[in-house]
């Protein structure tokens, strides 16, 4: 799969019980996107997608996975 943020090759690490997408990207790191934010995220340009990820990372405690929620879009 391709990373929804940067477009680089990434791994889909989503378990069957998660309602969204969990991405492992060598450029963007590991993050999750709930289904209710995914469609909005992919419609944004690169700078806006990167800003949403940066916001998610800044709001995430150390050791936890960043989550791009609708409020960051």
φ, ψ (nearest 5 deg) of residue 67: -125, 120
Cβ count within 10 A of residue 5: 24
Domain-located, residue 32: yes
φ, ψ (nearest 5 deg) of residue 11: -110, 135
Length of the chain: 73
Q: What is the pLDDT of residues 9-55, one digit of tens each?
A: 999 999 999 999 999 999 999 999 999 999 999 999 999 999 999 99
Cβ count within 10 A of residue 22: 16
- Domain extent at residue 64: 10-72
Q: Shortest CA distance to 71 belongs to which of 54, 58, 52? A: 52
Q: pLDDT band for position 3 (50/70/90)?
A: very high
Domain-located, residue 68: yes
Domain-located, residue 15: yes
């Amino acid at each position: 799969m391709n990373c929804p943020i940067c477009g680089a090759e990434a791994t889909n690490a989503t378990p069957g019980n998660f309602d969204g997408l969990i991405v492992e990207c060598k450029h963007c790191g590991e993050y999750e996107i709930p289904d209710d934010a995914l469609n909005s995220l992919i419609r944004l340009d690169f700078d806006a997608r990167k800003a949403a990820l940066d916001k998610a990372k800044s709001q995430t405690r150390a050791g936890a996975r960043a989550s791009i929620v609708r409020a960051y879009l």
